[in-house]
Chains A and B, each alone.
Chain A
């Protein structure tokens, strides 16, 4: 009995996990535990996952985890959910510390400053109260007028939320009220002025309004969760009566998963990008074998299953999730399908990166992460092929590999179920993010169609803004010195305090630069720190974001600064190149701009220099 219909038994997987741990193969053990949980989520597997992770820790497993401290206040038993919640979280690289309020003392816990809810390092408090506990006469219709009860219950929630927020800044996640499976008035309820269902809906709307008055207070739609699995099937009434556990055994992990949809974004361990395969993932069939006419992608069975996946991609993209393709295919053929197949809902401009080649997927995913300038731990991967999934799980254990069954009709749901795509709110940056990446790709595409590089540079309509840094830019400047690895002449890492010190030191000048071109404003993308000694200037730091490499921006920046220094009477510019593992792109920078190497003094150039002129494709 399991969700995935797998034929391997729990006992077998457990044996394989023990073998992998015995062989000290941490990534295989981790991959097997993910498979175990996917096939048999629930109270029997949770202890195996927890002790498995204990063993991995002892093996020195290296994947980072995000910690989160959670306290659950409740009107029902939740103890069996705790190991299930912790196990699922660990598989998603989140380490949860869970405390519980006493059974049914949720109100006292909120009112009392000594309660576990107010422990100093609490990140999130979950408040789970059942309809039958806070509004018993709405749970079982007793014939009283409902309108008064609605206002009372909303008032109770408001009071709980306001009191909590007055004592704590931690996140608060409040369950809304579930509908009973059967309305007291039977079929009359739906149109009744005293409708039980409608009363609960009004309370739930009032709860949303009460939460919206505060920062960091969220409503967990418990009623929708129950409805999703069937109101008739969710509860175990006899277990409620004997053990106060109202949720049936097979649904415990569904409650845990719903909590995680909030806890995951709260922990920060979200996926910023989703990398998708093509064959049998975005369309049915294999393009290389079935040809463009043979793949299945339309509104009928089974093509509709793949269109459903593409629809989820569109939804995720609107939420700020970056999309990328990683497929073993002929690139030209695959691009043609993406661009012009009538069944496609996403297009080439939906994707920020497309890796369509014959390389292994782990290498491609690493490259995608680099190009997007994010960590591999912020990537989720969708691929119908179990062997590819296992390969990526073992090579890149920090990537969120989405588990899929054999049935494409379940793929879209698997995506929707994954908590790493949830967000607590959408910043304007999130909404703009895909637009920024799309602009970047437009720039890259343009390069292909230009007759010469100079034409290309000219077509970008670039404007350089090089300026002396003020305190307002100190944070961004320091961040760039710490993050920039490739185009970095000396890789000197500076803190905000260091940069401030440079600003206040008359012998140092700190410059920053922005590029504005026809696709947008890049923001600050370069930092130059110089030290003045009489008529000589030393380049302490010259770095540039990899986003603007290949457009002669470095030439422009260096030339503008050289010209300004020359105007102040500087006669010589000097510099060193300090090689690092990653900065070979900056290796020839000094030589390329006319600096000559001197054994003792490093590289230097006399001003004015013909090689330090701002190219004419930059707008004045």
Chain B
């Protein structure tokens, strides 16, 4: 999977979890910049990423995944 399509897939999952559209989640989106992205949604988001990419995130990784960029970083560390 190319980098752009992986980025799009992650953005799509964030958009789905927050019931927003793909266009509203840019490549630079983060917990700080997106209004609905709070700690409850963080949990739902991590679970959705785990199901989609068939990976498990440890608590410390979970806490670090606060932006599209950081999520992509964690996924590539897991070889997903």
Contacts and interface: CB of A to CB of B under 8 A. Distances in A.
Interface of A: 1, 10-11, 40, 42-45, 47-48, 50-51, 77, 79-80, 83, 238-239, 241-243, 245, 249-250, 252
Nearest to A77: B43
B51 A243 contact: no
Contacts of A83: 44
B3 to A, nearest CB: 16
B16 interface: yes
15 contacts: A43-B44, A43-B51, A45-B51, A47-B19, A47-B48, A79-B40, A79-B43, A80-B44, A80-B47, A83-B44, A238-B58, A239-B59, A241-B59, A243-B62, A249-B56
A42 B44 contact: no
Given A241-B59, A249-B47, A252-B47, 4 more contacts: A42-B47, A47-B16, A238-B58, A239-B59
Contacts of B51: 1, 40, 42-45, 249-250
Contacts of B40: 79
A1 B51 CA distance: 8
Of the listed residues B49, B51, B59, the one surrounded by the most CB atoms of chain A closer than 10 A to its CB is: B51
Interface residues of B, number: 19
A238 B44 contact: no
A10 B52 CA distance: 8
A44 B48 contact: yes
Interface in B1-40: 9, 13, 16-17, 19, 40
Contacts of B76: none
Nearest to B58: A238
A47 B17 contact: yes
Contact of B50 (A45, A238, A241, A249): A249
- The dominant DSSP class at the B interface is helix
B43 A245 contact: yes
Contact of A51 (B9, B16, B48): B16
B5 to A, nearest CB: 9
A444 to B, nearest CB: 51
Given A47-B17, A47-B19, A79-B40, A1 B54 contact: yes
Closest 6 CB pairs of A and B: A242-B59, A43-B47, A44-B48, A44-B51, A47-B16, A42-B51
B25 to A, nearest CB: 13
A238 B46 CA distance: 14
Of the listed residues B19, B40, B44, the one surrounded by the most CB atoms of chain A closer than 10 A to its CB is: B44
Nearest to B16: A47
Nearest to A47: B16
Contacts of A44: 13, 16, 47-49, 51-52
B55 to A, nearest CB: 10
B17 to A, nearest CB: 6
A252 B48 CA distance: 12
Contact of A243 (B43, B49, B54): B43
Contacts of A242: 59, 62
A423 to B, nearest CB: 32
Given A1-B51, A11-B9, A238 B59 contact: yes
Nearest to B41: A79
A250 B49 CA distance: 12
A50 B52 CA distance: 17
A48 B16 contact: yes
Nearest to A253: B51
Contacts of A80: 43-44, 47
Contacts of A10: 52
Contacts of A243: 43, 59, 62
Nearest to B47: A43
A510 B72 CA distance: 77
A245 B46 CA distance: 12
A239 B9 CA distance: 25
A252 B50 CA distance: 13
A252 B43 CA distance: 13
Given A1-B51, A44-B51, A79 B19 contact: no
A77 B56 CA distance: 18
A50 B44 CA distance: 14
A483 B51 CA distance: 49
A36 to B, nearest CB: 12
Nearest to A82: B44
Contacts of B13: 44
A79 to B, nearest CB: 6
A250 B48 CA distance: 10
A80 B45 CA distance: 10
A17 to B, nearest CB: 12
